[in-house]
Amino acid sequence: MEAIKEYFKLAIKNLKTRRLRSWLTILGIVVGIFLVITLISLSGGIKNTILKQLNALGGDIIFVMPGAIDNPLTTFMGGQMLSEEDIQTVKKTKGVEVALPMSQKSQLMRYNNEQKTIFLTGFPWDEGKDFLSNFQGWNLSEGTWPSPGKRELLLGSLVAEKDFFSKRIKVGDTVTVNGKSFKVVGILNSIGNKGDDTSVYLDREVFQQITGDREGGALAIMVKAEEGVSPDELAARIKSELDEVRKRRRGEDVSDFSVLTSEKMGSIAGGVLGVIQAAVMLFAAISILVGGLGIMNTMFTSVRERTKEIGVLKAIGAKNSAVISIFLIESGILGLIGGAGGVIFGLIVAKLIEGYSRASGAFLLEAYMPASLIIFGLFFSFLIGCLSGYLPARKAAKLRPTEALRSYE
Amino acid sequence: MEKSIIRLQDVWKTYQMGKVEVPAVRGISLEIFPGTFVSIMGPSGSGKSTLLNMIGCLDFPSKGKIFLDGQDTSILSESQLAQARGQKIGFIFQQFNLLQHLTALENVMLPMVFQGQEEEQRKARARYLLDLVGLGDRVDHLPSELSGGQRQRVAIARAFANKPQLVIADEPTGNLDSHSGQKIMDILVQFHKEQKGTIVVVTHDSIIANYSQKIFHIIDGQIVQNHKQSEQTIWKQ
């Protein structure tokens, strides 16, 4: 132990005499670890946020959406809708407690001689009020819920704010949507994502009247199972009922819709995030590898420069293990300092991005930074340092003292 | 018979120079006994440094055996040999070979680090030795802050750090002016007397040779004669 302490002192002196080169090598590791920490912290944060939102939906909510799930984008891009018959079929399926169809269209809204685009979203309020407040966690910051059948609007939190229209909208104000005037009766607290917070909500019947969407298509149906009914079983039942409708009506046997439990949605989201995380880790690993090569390069150069010194050390009684230790400690220190720098920068940048996301309100992102991530960063960089220092250290240890002493300074 | 510190038995050393084998040491046998001051002399290229390296167990012979303190070194592992070397042999080089970024004190302490000695013990011994070589007020200087003669004195202190049975010096005064060289020799002689150590010096310096109890003359990798001091004058012509 005493010896190791001395080797440490020697190693630190060696690094200090090559100060600039040591710092440049450390910088290489800082960049690599910085990338890893930032990316892990942010992708972990995104994952947590998404899982949290899915959890907020409640574990036993079932979503029925148009379009097959193997191409989820068609749901929102393709303009496919679920028909009124689909909605009725879902409602009548055994085990369904509530089925809440949702319609959505982007519309122009006028207020105070300004015009802005908003998402107009229609829910049947008689059933929707309880569903949304109990299972989706919606709550009002002021006003009341719209009454069914009346021209009353509920605003997402961002729509009401001053930044959206130049004047803040208050409960009781009148706004114009698609040429029809509405009374604002309530304003929601933030739901947590920009899409929902820039929506304007109203009764679905009124929605159909003013958009002329009398066919009554729904963009999605949210289903709550009855007490004691398993969501998975109910999802399967809804799927077979809807398949029946398609066969009877159109003679089709292709499922152009998806029935998903929130658990399933979670696993799909988790899978996508997993792939992103893996890709991110791959790039980070490459940058760490480059940092490691930097350490190796520095240490090899160092061995060559110090050949004579190594000869002296061996002549005065340094065993091979002592020479290896000194060089490994040096490269380990390079790795560790680089790792510490990388962890610090990484966490700072992750926090900055978190702060930016809060301020912009575009998305809610909490940087994920548990102690294990910091420990992992430090340990990993130390390991990289030692690994990349091993070959140079072994080369140094294998030098024959006479040959080393003969080399020119 | 008295036990020798180092014994060479028909030792050969051949270097590979491209495709040609160049024998540097050709069948040398010799014994060095405790407490003697031995000089090795010879023209450059005669193989005396190679011989010295093998006496110091820094190099393995191509053929033949070397016994350090009665122990056959050819059966020792590299680590065991390093350990034995650190314990029993001290080195003084022509180029001083101090570690540039360590102070005089740290340089002298280093061989004791490799023997696993306690820090307090190391410090005390190193201070004592630096005092002996007259550098008691320079312990915290780096080699670059010392003159050539002072550096060599640090190197001597380092060589004696582990109380070696054998101290080997390869032209210790070769890089010094005559005044510093004289001082170095005085110190070596003083160490020899006070520490009762065995000293082997490769030198061109007749003054050192004069002090020696035994001189080996090397020409073309072989010992020519075992001169006694009295015979030295003949050789010098």
- Backbone region of residue B221 per phi and psi (left: phi > 0; alpha: psi in -120 to 50; beta: other values): left
pLDDT at A78 over 80: no
CB-CB neighbours of A289 under 10 Å: 13
Can you give the pLDDT at residue B102? 92
Q: Which domains does chain B have, with CATH numbers?
A: 6-236 (3.40.50.300)
pLDDT tens string B53-110: 999 988 889 999 999 988 899 898 888 888 899 999 999 998 889 998 999 999 999 9
Can you give the pLDDT at residue B12? 92
Q: Which one of A18, A305, A312, A316 makes the best mutation probe of the B interface by having the most chain B beta carbons within 10 Å?
A: A316
pLDDT at A160 over 50: yes
Q: What are the angstrom distances between the C-alpha of B67 and each of B53, B71, B164?
A: 14, 5, 16
ipTM > 0.95 for the complex: no
Please give the model's pTM, rounded to 2 decimal places: 0.73
| Chain B closest-CA separation from residue A1 CA (Å) | 9
Among all residues of chain A, which has the CA nearest to that of B102?
A: A13
Structure-token match 């072989």, residue found: B222
Of A102-111, A249-258, A331-340, where does mean pLDDT reach its minimum? Answer: A249-258
Phi, psi of B189 (to 5 degrees): -65, -40
* Average pLDDT of chain A, as a whole number: 82
| Chain A closest-CA separation from residue B8 CA (Å) | 18
Q: What are the angstrom distances between the C-alpha of B221 and each of A207, B29, B40, B51, B231?
A: 108, 11, 12, 8, 21
Can you give the pLDDT at residue B161? 92
- Residue A77: which pLDDT band, with cuts at 50, 70 and 90? low
CB of B121 within 8 Å of a chain A CB? The answer is no
Q: How is residue A62 annotated by DSSP? A: E
Do the chains contact at B58 and A315, CB–CB below 8 Å? yes
pLDDT at A265 over 80: no
User: Which residues of chain A neighbour B116 with C-beta distances below 8 Å?
Assistant: 2-3
Task: Give the amino acid at A49.
Answer: T
pLDDT at A39 over 60: yes
Of A126-130, A179-183, A323-327, B210-214, where does mean pLDDT reach its minimum? Answer: A126-130
Question: How far does CA A6 lie from the centroid of its chain?
Answer: 47
Q: Which of A181, A186, A150 is nearest to A171 (CA)?
A: A186
Query: Which tokens is A131 given?
Result: 């569903």
C-beta separation of A58 from A220 below 8 A: no
> From chain A, which residues contact B within 8 Å (Cβ)?
2-3, 6, 10, 13-14, 16-17, 308-309, 311-322, 400-402, 405, 409
Q: What are the angstrom distances between the C-alpha of A274 and each of A47, A69, A262, A289, B34?
A: 9, 18, 18, 22, 74
Among all residues of chain A, which has the CA nearest to that of B88?
A: A317
Q: Which of A13, A75, A37 is nearest to A309 (CA)?
A: A13
Report B:198-227 residues touching A (Cβ under 8 A): none
**Following DSSP, what letter does each residue of B48-110 receive, concatenated?**
HHHHHHHHTTSS--SEEEEEETTEEGGGS-HHHHHHHHHHHEEEE-TT----TTS-HHHHHHH
Average pLDDT for residues A392-399, to the nearest whole number? 89
CB of B3 within 8 Å of a chain A CB? The answer is no
